[in-house]
Amino acid sequence: MPRLNFEGQNTSYATHGLHAYAAKCPPQLVRYALKYYSKPTNTVLDPMMGSGTTLVEAKLLNRKSVGYDIDPLARLIADVKSTPICDDQIRVAYERVTKHLPKMGESGNGSNRIFGRPEFVNSEYWFSDDVAQSLALLADRIRNTKMPAAIRRFLWVAFTSLILAKTSVANARDIVHSRHHFWEHSSAPDVFGKFSKRVLSMRKQMLNFWSQVSKHDTEAKAILGDARNLRQTAESVDLVFTSPPYVTALDYTRSHFLAVAWLENELGLSLEQYKTRAAAYIGTERQPSVRRETKETVDEVKSLKSVLASLRAETPTQALLTERYFIDMYSVMREIKRILRPGKHAVLVVCPSHIRKIEVPSHEILMEIGNSVGLNAKKCYSRVIDARKRLLPFVKPSFGNRMSTEYVLIFRKD
């Protein structure tokens, strides 16, 4: 059995620390899968890439990679993290953007309407006037300063990292989690100063990444798409690696909305459209509908039956949400089987859940689903989650024990 805990190891090398993201997979775990189940220049695909850990590791190990995610902000972050950029280009663009920015306290008069401030319910509640004015000015400079598209995306990621952070410039704490709450700063954060420090830190990380991959010509593609219906040719992939969302544990649209509100033009959709898309996310609690055409298939999954029976007795709504989750994951597993080449592997990192103190053994259920779609479940390894490294949602004692163990599932397409 391989040693997969990686306790105490650095998980922020290269560009892995470029942006905070909930429930990130440790890069060492991706590296393990790439080394054992693929070769240089092979094609690796992550159908639920999140912030792009798989793409970065694939680039570092000279593998071609494709990542899909339904969340447009995730796609932006993953694209920036996996695209090597020359530091001189970043420096020139940054200096143009920040030239003549006002000092702290000179960004504007809070009594006036703030041009460029996103308009949504409770905008003033989450962003003080001083912070909103500074963010609006910074966003305007990033948007309208001439620079290559890749550099602009890099600076947008620096911008969003000021909002989606443990210590956000917004009036919020734990904002990376979907259960963030209001917290007012005692004094207005220095948005421009934080942006400068953040860009400098990101430049160092990108320079490290650039130095490691500059000789590689393998491509990394981050695509906005749905893991249940991939725009991928059949039998075109040598390895699938992914870490699916938890069963109803995280709400990425709720976690990301304060940043998305500032990037509507860049992401190509309004905040209201973004929130509406939440109903389509795997693991969402927003719309507990079940598509009947696949329900009969998951009804045959024995390890799921007992869980659903217990949940229906305790909380029917959560039972419906859980059922929907595994219906969606059935579609994902079917797509993984379709795109894998014969003899190749899929590696899934799965964490069980506790819903109203009822354990949901997601690893056992997904192994059974994998077998039912034609993927041979070969191995199941357990690993301990390093709570100091991973951003997990707070779970109240009444909901059950905090998630501390996850499983690495190895499938093979025979």
Q: What is the pLDDT of residue 53?
A: 98
Please name every residue paired with 355 in a beta bridge, in sequence order, or none if there are none: 358
Question: What does pLDDT average to over the chain?
Answer: 90
Residue found under tokens 């799921």 = 304
Return d(Cα 57, Cα 64) in angstroms, integer: 10
Q: pLDDT for 66-100, tens place per residue? A: 999 999 999 999 999 999 999 999 999 999 999 98
d(CA 389, CA 201): 19
Range of weakest confidence among 80-89, 203-212, 240-249, 257-266: 240-249
388 pLDDT tier (thresholds 50, 70, 90): low
- From the list 53, 42, 40, 47, the residue with the least C-alpha distance to 209 is 53
Q: For residues 3 and 153, which has the higher predicted lDDT (pLDDT)?
A: 153
Crossing angle of helices 302-314 and 362-373, rounded to 10°: 140
**pLDDT score of 294 more than 90:** no
User: CA 43, 45, 49: angle at the middle one, nearest 5?
Assistant: 145
Measured between alpha carbons, how far is residue 20 from residues 11, 65, 410 in Å? 12, 22, 28
Q: What is the pLDDT of residues 278-287, one digit of tens each?
A: 999 999 888 6
Neighbour tally for 252: CB within 10 Å: 22
Please report the pLDDT score of residue 318 as a whole number. Answer: 92
Give the number of other Cβ atoms within 10 Å of residue 32's Cβ.
Answer: 20
Percentage of residues in the chain with pLDDT exceeding 90? Answer: 73
Residue 41: predicted pLDDT: 94
The answer on pLDDT for 373 being more than 90 is: yes
pLDDT of residue 286: 80
Q: What digits encode the pLDDT tens for the residues 11-69?
A: 999 999 999 998 899 999 999 999 999 999 999 999 999 999 999 999 999 999 999 99
| Both tokens assigned to 57 | 């590791």
